[in-house]
């Protein structure tokens, strides 16, 4: 433990070294302006590096790619290429537009991998809340014809790993929620096929990428139980899937270093989640 404390202190002293190169507002689909841009965080290491595509939350209606800038900088300082994306929001981002944008962004990164020093076979997708849903859907439906993007980058290849945080995986189960109806553009009764297409749990086949699902036991916005359903459904088809559930973890309030304090942050930035994510990435897209 004390050796660890020494390492921690040394790491803290070195904080700020190796600042990544940041390229803002890169258009991955020039047709929709700011809505389809991404920010790139490039590590100092040269050569093809594993990458992480980050998808922000906000009930498909709010939010911005800058929500993930702290995480993206940390990934980039660690040697990963990080790309935090915008996507079309409601109104305008109704299903299937937002999922098509995320597929287009992934295809853009794969197609331009050489330019940004990315290994195109080692790109993980991570999202939170609505972004968790979009990441989960991209993982299982990247090759679904109805969700194929019509942007110039074409269709994406399979992502190497998927990390959905606090996301919904079966929209049919939460179909009474207004924000889901707004995203879907109608009710479950009106659009049963679309609800099924938008539900990652209904799209699972064998040979899906490995999943790490992160959920909060006290998350009254996110669909906590759905993470377990998704994990079990993936495993039932022979896929690799694990779930980290954090007792006391809310949607935007988490216990801090002082377990009695609640802090405004997302589940993915708790110490438990950082540890599990670091391990998951190292095993599935490799350490930089």
Partner 1 sequence: MKGGRLVAVLLLLAGAAGAQPKGKRNAVSHKPFALASSGVVVQYERYLAERWSALAGLGARRAAREDFRSVTLSFVSEGRFWLSRRDWASDYRGMAGPYLSVAADAARTRVTYVPTDRDVGAAWRIQESLRFGNRFVIWNLQEITPAASLDVIHDIDEQGRLAPGTRTTLGLDFTVGWVF
| Residue 35: closest CA among 81, 124, 104 | 104
Give least dist CB 282 to partner 1, A: 6
Number of residues that bind partner 1 (CB under 8 A): 53
Give least dist CB 281 to partner 1, A: 8
Contact, 57 vs 268, CB < 8 A? no
Q: Tell me whether residue 79 or residue 186 sits nearer to partner 1 (CB atom).
A: 79
Residues 15-54, mask of contacts with partner 1 (x by CB under 8 A) = x--x------------------------------------
Q: Which stretch binds partner 1 (CB under 8 A): 59-67, 117-125, 173-181, 279-287?
A: 279-287
Residues 170-209, mask of contacts with partner 1 (x by CB under 8 A) = ----------------------------------------
Give least dist CB 219 to partner 1, A: 12
| Partners of 102 in the β-ladder | none
Give least dist CB 214 to partner 1, A: 10
- 3-state class percentages of the chain: helix first, strand second, coil last, to nearest 5: 40, 20, 40
Give least dist CB 15 to partner 1, A: 5
Residues 271, 162: Cα–Cα separation, whole Å: 19
- Side-chain half-sphere exposure of 47, counting CA atoms within 13 A: 3
| Residue 147: closest CA among 191, 97, 94 | 97
| Residue 84: closest CA among 40, 51, 115 | 40
Q: Tell me whether residue 14 or residue 237 sits nearer to partner 1 (CB atom).
A: 14
Within 235-254, the residues that bind partner 1 by CB under 8 A are: 242-249, 253
Residues 65, 68: Cα–Cα separation, whole Å: 6
Among 25, 190, 225, 279, the residue binding partner 1 under the rule CB under 8 A is 279
| Residue 91: closest CA among 189, 184, 28 | 184
| Residue 267: closest CA among 132, 165, 121, 190 | 165
**CA end-to-end span of the chain:** 26
Within 51-80, the residues that bind partner 1 by CB under 8 A are: 70-71, 73-75, 77-78
**Contacts with partner 1, residue ranges (CB under 8 A):** 1, 4-5, 7-8, 11-12, 14-15, 18, 70-71, 73-75, 77-78, 217-218, 228, 231, 242-249, 253, 255-265, 269-272, 274-276, 278-279, 281-282, 287
């Amino acid at each position: 433990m004390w050796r660890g404390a020494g390492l921690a202190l040394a790491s803290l002293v070195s904080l700020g070294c190796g600042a990544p190169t940041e390229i803002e507002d890169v258009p991955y689909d020039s047709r929709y302006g700011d809505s389809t841009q991404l920010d790139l965080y490039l590590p100092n290491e040269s050569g093809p590096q594993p990458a992480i595509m980050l998808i922000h939350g906000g009930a498909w209606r709010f939010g911005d790619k800058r929500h993930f800038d702290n995480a993206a900088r940390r990934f980039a300082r660690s040697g990963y290429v990080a790309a935090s994306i915008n996507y079309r929001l409601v109104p305008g981002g109704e299903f299937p537009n937002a999922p098509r944008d995320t597929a287009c962004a992934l295809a853009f990164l794969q197609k331009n991998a050489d330019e940004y020093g990315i290994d195109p076979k080692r790109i993980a997708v991570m999202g939170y809340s609505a972004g968790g849903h979009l990441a989960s859907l991209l993982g299982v439906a990247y090759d679904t014809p109805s969700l194929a993007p019509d942007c110039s980058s074409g269709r994406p290849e399979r992502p190497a790993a998927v990390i959905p945080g606090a996301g919904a995986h079966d929209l049919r189960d939460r179909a009474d929620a207004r924000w889901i109806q707004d995203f879907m553009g109608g009710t479950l009764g009106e659009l049963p096929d679309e609800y099924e297409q938008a539900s990652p749990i209904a799209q699972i086949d064998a040979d899906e990428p490995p999943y790490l699902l992160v959920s909060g036991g006290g998350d009254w916005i996110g669909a906590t139980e759905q993470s377990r359903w998704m994990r079990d459904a993936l495993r039932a088809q022979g896929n690799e899937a694990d779930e980290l559930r954090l007792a006391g973890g809310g949607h935007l309030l988490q216990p801090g270093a002082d377990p009695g304090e609640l802090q405004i942050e997302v589940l993915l930035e708790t110490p438990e989640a950082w540890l599990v994510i670091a391990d998951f990435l190292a095993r599935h897209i490799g350490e930089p």
